[in-house]
Amino acid sequence: MKRFLLPRWGKLQAITISRSDVRMAVSRVGRPVLANAVLAAASAIFTWAVRQEIVTVNPCRGIERNAMKSRERVLSDSEVSAFWPRLSPALKMILLTGQRPGEVAHMRRGHIRDGWWELPGAPVAELDWPGTKNKQNHRVWLSQPAQKLLDKHLARCSKMDEDMRAACKALGAERATPHDLRRTFATTVAALGYSRQAVDRLLNHADRSVASVYDRHGYAREDQMIVKRVANHILGLAEGRGAAIITFHSH
């Protein structure tokens, strides 16, 4: 907003900004991914303005985003073994918990209770906590390896993208991002034989079904077991003990 939109729109009344103004502003953003982000930010603001009756329409509606290739990067077993010693505590935490990089970066000790990392859906200003992406409360069991990382992770200012690029460069590996570690966690859960429902639950993907409201903590024991097995699998690879034994579950 500050870089691409406010210099052009800062002195305009919101109601005068047209769809052509949006198209022109977005077209001046050099990178497709960044252009999509600018469009999304503008759309979010105009959506709010419509609800507040400041404007009557969202001029961003109907403007197509740049087509992007879906990224399906998942670290192989051999890559997990090679990357692990070079990952920062924050990146290891993503791989062990499967949580979003932004949420791991804002992890707070005050949200850890009895081995569970509790992630409030709403922002908590005094803790600089931004809230979860889907605004839903969530909690994650911290395996023993994750708990051992806590002090180092919380004491270090996370520069995840920079740290991940450095690890890739040092290993001569194909580009990988912090989010790819989250995807690797999810893939490991599935490879261990657990359902798509379990994957979505652990990743805090939105579930607006009625059942989810009443069953929020109903899978605590299973979630603990899954996270422990993922940690055992990853540490087994990192320490040269090999992958965990794969078993399949009907649930």
Sign for the CA dihedral angle at 168, 101, 93, 227 comes to negative
Q: How many other CB atoms are found less than 10 A from the CB of residue 226?
A: 24
Closest CA to 150 of 122, 206, 111, 102: 111
What is the total residue count of the chain? 251
- Helix (H) and strand (E) counts in the chain: 12, 3
Every domain of the chain and the residues it spans: 1-68, 77-238
> Residue 203 to residues 38, 96, 98, 138, 172: CA-CA distances in angstroms?
26, 12, 6, 9, 29
Q: What are phi and psi of 138, to 5 degrees?
A: -150, 155
Give pLDDT, residue 167: 95
| Residues forming a β-bridge with 138 | 119
CA 175, CA 73: separation in Å to the nearest integer?
9
pLDDT (tens digit, 9 = 90+) per residue, 50-70?
989 999 999 998 888 887 665
Give pLDDT, residue 168: 95
Considering only the top CATH level, what class is 77-238?
mainly alpha
Q: What is the mean pLDDT of residues 196-211?
A: 78
Q: What is the mean pLDDT of the chain?
A: 87
Q: How many other CB atoms are found less than 10 A from the CB of residue 129?
A: 18
Q: How confident is the model at residue 34 (pLDDT cuts 50, 70, 90)?
A: confident
